[in-house]
Amino acid sequence: MALGKSGSVLHKRRGGDASQHTDEDDDDELLDSLSKGTSKHQRWCVLIIVLVLVNLLLGYVHLQRRSRNKVLNVVTVLTDKSFPDHIASHPNGTLVNFFSSSCKYCAKLASEFDEAAKQLQQKSDVSLVSVNAGQAPLAVEQYSVTKFPTLLWFRRGRLVRDVAPSVHTTTKILEFVEESLQPSVIDFASHADFDEAVPQLRSVLSNVKTLPVVVGFGREPAVYKVLAEIGEKFRGLTAFLFVKEAQEGDPFMRVYFRESDADKEYNGDLNVDDVQKWLQPLMDRKEKEKDPS
């Protein structure tokens, strides 16, 4: 009986140990399961982080490429079809680079021109564009482009002037544009102020090689507009003045030489072409005096 009881107790104890062992096994399995679940969760987190970083990197590369493309495409290449509309839509100024694919000097200018365009884009509405001679034969013929590269300056939809061959670096291009945007006409508020300045004006013209000074009088509103455009064409060669007050007997424009009896007056149609036809021979005559050969 004692043994039976003892065996029964032992059995119960063993049974109890077995039950305890089973619970511990369950706990271990739960821990293993949680551990595996945590491990999977961590792997997913790591994978998500990696994917996010990869996407950020790809986005950065894409933005960098777009940025580089924007710099490279600052200078638009025009054709015969796009040329007139572009010039007309940029009245404040367009500098056009006519180039040829076979011209080695054109390739050198292109990088300087592009850098100037990039800098101007940040502070000015002036447009710098290129024209491939092979793609725009009509524009080449219209503006008498015979050598490459050739830079032409346009404002208000019209050709203003050729650009000197020395303007082939970024610095020179920027200087040219800045100068070209300055007012081409000096204003006199009153006729009295101008009359007082005339003797000094003629003294400056005492040098025979000096080009005459062109003066417009405010008889009509169109005088100033035409004078300003003509002044841009001859910028840097001589002075253009405008007297707002007009007196009786004043012409639309007068060219002042060293001696008053050499002065010439203009009272014709107030358009740029007619005024330039009147003025050009006077300028050419003085240019020939500068260079007798």
Q: Cα(179)–Cα(160) distance, rounded to whole angstroms? A: 13
- For 72-139, the DSSP string reads HTSSEEE-TTTHHHHHHT-TT-EEEEEE-TT-HHHHHHHHHHHHHHHHHHTT---EEEEEETTT-HHH
Residue 19 has a pLDDT of 46
Q: What's the confidence (pLDDT) of residue 59?
A: 64
- Sheet of 264-266, strand order: 186-188, 240-243, 213-217, 253-256, 264-266
Q: Mind listing the pLDDT tens digit for each residue in 119-138?
A: 998 888 899 999 999 999 99
Reported as a pLDDT band with limits 50, 70 and 90, residue 236 is confident
- Going by C-alpha positions, the residue among 184, 244, 255 that lies closest to residue 220 is 244
Residue 284's pLDDT band, with cuts at 50, 70 and 90, is confident
Confidence of residue 204 (pLDDT cuts 50, 70, 90): confident
Res 283: pLDDT: 84
Q: What residue spans define the domains of the chain?
A: 76-180, 186-290
N-terminal to C-terminal alpha carbon distance within the chain: 149
Q: Give mean pLDDT, residues 138-163.
A: 95
**86 neighbors 78 (Cβ within 8 angstroms):** yes
Is the whole-model pTM more than 0.85?
Answer: no
Span 204-213, mean pLDDT?
78
| Exposed / middle / buried, residue 245 (Cβ in 10 Å: 0-12, 13-18, 19+) | middle
Mean pLDDT of the 274-293 span: 72
pLDDT of residue 122: 83
Mean pLDDT across 162-183: 95
Q: If you average pLDDT over residues 261-277, what whole number do you get? A: 95
Q: What is the pLDDT of residues 153-163, one digit of tens each?
A: 999 999 999 99
Which contiguous run of DSSP H or E holds residue 52?
A: helix 2-72
Enumerate the β-bridge partners of residue 254: 215, 265
Q: Which CATH class is domain 76-180?
A: alpha beta
CATH superfamily of 186-290: Glutaredoxin (3.40.30.10)
The pLDDT score that the predictor gives to residue 291 is 47
In this prediction, residues 29-44 reach a mean pLDDT of 58
- Rounded CA-CA distance 272/243 in Å is 19
Spatial contact of 173 and 181, defined as CB atoms under 8 Å apart: no
Q: How many C-beta atoms lie closer than 10 Å to residue 278's C-beta?
A: 18
**Tokens 């079809």 identify what position?**
81
Residue 187: strand pairing partners: 242
What number is the average pLDDT over the span 93-114?
Answer: 95
pLDDT > 60? residue 33: no
| Rounded mean pLDDT, 130-156 | 96
Q: Can you say whether the dihedral through the CA atoms of 274, 278, 281, 285 is positive or negative?
A: negative
Mean pLDDT of the chain: 82
Query: 158 and 229 in contact (C-beta within 8 Å)?
Result: yes
* Closest residue by Cα to residue 227 from 174, 264, 276, 178: 276
> What percentage of residues in the chain have a pLDDT greater than 90?
62
The Cα 243–Cα 194 span in angstroms is 7
**Same CATH fold, 186-290 and 76-180?**
yes
